[in-house]
Structure 1
Amino acid sequence: MSIRANLYRLQIAEKSVGSLSILAVLRWTLVIVFLWFGAMKFTAYEANGIAPFIVNSPIMSWLHTLLGVQGASNVIGVLELSTAVALILGSFLSIFSALGAAMSTATYLITLTFFFSTPGVAEATAGGFPAISALPGQFLLKDLVLLAASLSLLLASVQGSKPNAQKS
């Protein structure tokens, strides 16, 4: 089956399990998170707050080198606000349901890598890993739940694009 045919078979995540579902709650909660966090990225307070995560990340440290602390934060803010917009549009258009959920999933996959690259995650005074610090350890651990919400939306959005997908 062609890519184009599969794109037409994508679905709005919530419609894969009924008209009113927990997926709608997940979608709109993620929208709030991305709008709020994305808007905050344009403040010096937030830019400085995320700087230790970015500078220690093998995936994202180039942003600081290229754009500086505030520039890197601004780029991340644009991406987060774009994710919010895609998630909002995804409640109406199936392609955006999949796109927004994929963007959200990618975000939390990346932020969970900070768990391994950011100094201070393991709490030495409590015996080291698996004991984690409140900051940054527990702060990052919450992204595991946000990743699960994102994956739930993504899987429900692309479920209909499988050639042998069963309709519910």
Structure 2
Amino acid sequence: MVYLDEESRMTNSTNHLRLQIAERSAGSLYMLGLLRWALVVIFLWFGGMKFTSYEANGIAPFIAHSPFMSWLHAAFGVRGASRVIGVLELSTAAALIIGAFKPFFSALGAAMSAMTYFFTLSFFLTTPGVAEPTAGGFPAISAAPGQFLLKDLVLLAASLCLLGASVRGSWLMVKEPQEKKS
């Protein structure tokens, strides 16, 4: 009888874990949950920091040299551009949080996260100082900004894993109505 009680506790723990992630049919729920909540922490933290002048000035060179984002400085100024990005990052965190319970938001948040890291990895090609000339130039990269940007490769991979699990999830499977047999 003790075994059944332990099994019941394990089943309840598993069901509780299932409430934490919407992708029920996509492999290890625990690992997807780790990816989700790590991304949530990153987006909450980085998004909140975008409202400080420290962060606005820190990201200004990346934005200024980006063919995709440089217009933000012209439209909103350095602080305003940082705030716009902060709102997008906090929205990404919100979608990822809601996505733990609603699969559509899981896919939306993961897609927003992936787009974020596609953009930041593009800075690799546009920001001066990425290649380290004293080490022979590219592929030798500087500590900042080169190695700082390279970490986003892992964050992009995490985002794509969560996105893949979100769009492959059981919520996409439409059940055909069964015909009644006479």
Residue in structure 2 matching 1:136, options 138, 145, 152: 145
2:102 aligned with 1:89:
no
Give 1:120 shift.
0.1
Give 1:97 shift.
0.5
TM-score, scaled to structure 2: 0.80
Give 1:162 shift.
7.3
Gaps of 5+ in 2: 1-20, 175-182
2:136 aligned with 1:127:
yes
Deviations 1:122-158 (A, max 9, x none): 0000000000000000000000000000000000000
RMSD between superposed Cα atoms in Å = 1.5
2:113 aligned with 1:104:
yes
Q: 1:26-41 maps to which residues of 2 (within 5 A)?
A: 26-41=35-50
CA contact (8 A) 1:12 1:156 kept: no
Where do 4+ consecutive residues of structure 1 move more than 6 Å? none
Aligned to 1:154: 163
By relative contact order (CA 8 Å, sep 6+), the higher-ranking structure is 1
Aligned to 1:4: none
Give 1:12 shift.
2.3
Aligned to 2:22: 12
Amino acid at match of 1:152: C
CA contact (8 A) 1:41 1:74 kept: yes
TM-score, scaled to structure 1: 0.87
Deviations 1:30-82 (A, max 9, x none): 00000000000000000000000000000000000111000000000000000
Aligned to 2:76: 67
Gaps of 5+ in 1: 1-10, 164-168
Partner SS for 1:112: helix
CA shift in 2, pair 1:87/1:126, >3 Å: same
Give 1:18 shift.
5.3
- Could you tell me the percent identity over the aligned residues? 72
